[in-house]
Amino acid sequence: MGIRLVIFDCDLTLWDHRNVSGLRLPFRKVDAEAVADADGVQVRLFPGVREVLAAIHDQGLLMSVASWNQPEHVFAIFDLLGLSGYFTRPKVEPHPYKERTIAALFQELRADGLPLRPEEVLYVDDRTLHFERVREAVGPVHILQAGVDFTQFADVLAYLNGQNPRIVS
């Protein structure tokens, strides 16, 4: 379908915690899929996330992040779980206006010599409040709602490969 960039939300999209900004630094690695905060509260990747990120990377697609969070918290998790290298210009900002962060991402990629049309972008988030504003700001990106359009993370890869008739954008 010609997708060149996949933008992921973090909380309740990549992992099972709903607001990692509410956790207390420093974080520590628990295992390959999970970290714990200073009080022992765990954040665990959803099953398949690591494998799907690796597969998308291997297919040569770009990936980035649009997260409404404190950047220190999200980047600590990426670093501890070895995910940082997957994301190009990840955007983690402590406000809900993802249309701004995604518009800025488009501009930065264009400045990097990577102009993208919205039809070449898939945006994955568990919350619908961002979808309409993002589409108004940058155009008709493809959208998947985590937990609604898919429940198994591997379905994101199936969607990219045009193999999942249950999902429509």
Residues forming the site for Mg ion (CB under 5 A): 9, 11-12, 126
Q: How far is the CB of 137 from Mg ion (least distance, A)?
A: 18
Minimum CB–partner distance for residue 49 and Mg ion (Å):
13
Least separation in angstroms between residue 12's CB and Mg ion is: 4
CB of 44 to Mg ion, least distance (A): 15
Distance CA 99, CA 135 (A): 8
Shortest distance (Å) from residue 30 CB to Mg ion? 21
Backbone phi and psi for residue 14, each to the nearest 5 degrees, phi listed first: -90, -30
> Exposure pattern of 148-166 as b/e (b: 16+ CB <10 Å)?
ebbeebebbbbbbeeebee
CB of 15 closer than 8 Å to CB of 27: no
Provide the b/e sequence for 60-72 (b: ≥16 CB within 10 Å).
Answer: eebbbbbbbbbee
Task: Select 93 or 119, whichever has its Cβ closest to Mg ion.
Answer: 93
The nearer residue to Mg ion, 12 or 114, going by C-beta atoms, is 12
Q: Which residue has the CB atom at the shortest distance from Mg ion?
A: 11
The radius of gyration of the chain's CA atoms, rounded to the nearest angstrom, is: 15
Q: Rounded distance, CA 87 to CA 62, Å? A: 7
Cα torsion 66, 109, 131, 59: sign: negative
Q: How far apart are CA 134 and CA 119, in angstroms?
A: 13
